[in-house]
Amino acid sequence: NAGVTQTPKFQVLKTGQSMTLQCAQDMNHNSMYWYRQDPGMGLRLIYYSASEGTTDKGEVPNGYNVSRLNKREFSLRLESAAPSQTSVYFCASRKPRTGVQETQYFGPGTRLLVL
């Protein structure tokens, strides 16, 4: 199992450019998440998807859109990048809560610099 994979690993954009961050998981999880992490801060939820075909906003959704293409894939799109979107982006999927277990599995992250 590859777990959660993300592409690209690194990206440099100019202000106003668009791009899509890709995420895929092979663990057959229903729930998937996009977070951003800024220096000295925890992870903040951008968007999440509880199941294929459903998405909803998290804490910081402005400037982003998402697509849950199928059960495996959840993409994050920046339509017009801004320097404030410079961050590390993590995708995660969630193992269904059974009993007293609750686990999210994270991808390796995408480091994005917007100039």
Partner 1 sequence: GQSLEQPSEVTAVEGAIVQINCTYQTSGFYGLSWYQQHDGGAPTFLSYNALDGLEETGRFSSFLSRSDSYGYLLLQELQMKDSASYFCASGMFSGGYNKLIFGAGTRLAVHP
Q: How far is the CB of 53 from partner 1 (least distance, A)?
A: 14
Q: How far apart are CA 43 and CA 37, in angstroms?
A: 5
Q: Which is nearer to partner 1, 1 or 101 (CB)?
A: 101
Q: How far apart are CA 37 and CA 110, in angstroms?
A: 10
Please work out the total of residues on this chain that contact partner 1, with binding judged by CB under 8 A: 27
Of the candidates 18, 97, 113, 115, which one interacts with partner 1 according to CB under 8 A?
Answer: 97
Does the protein bind partner 1 through residue 45 (CB under 8 A)?
Answer: yes
Dihedral sign (CA 87, 88, 94, 99): negative
Does the protein bind partner 1 through residue 102 (CB under 8 A)?
Answer: yes
Does the protein bind partner 1 through residue 39 (CB under 8 A)?
Answer: no
Pair 19, 11: CB distance under 8 Å: yes
Identify the bridge partners of residue 36 per DSSP, sorted by sequence position: 44, 89
Q: Which is nearer to partner 1, 6 or 85 (CB)?
A: 6
CA-nearest of 16, 1, 22 to 109 is 22
Binding residues for partner 1, rule: CB under 8 A, are: 31, 33, 35, 40-45, 48, 50, 56, 58-59, 90, 94, 97, 100-109
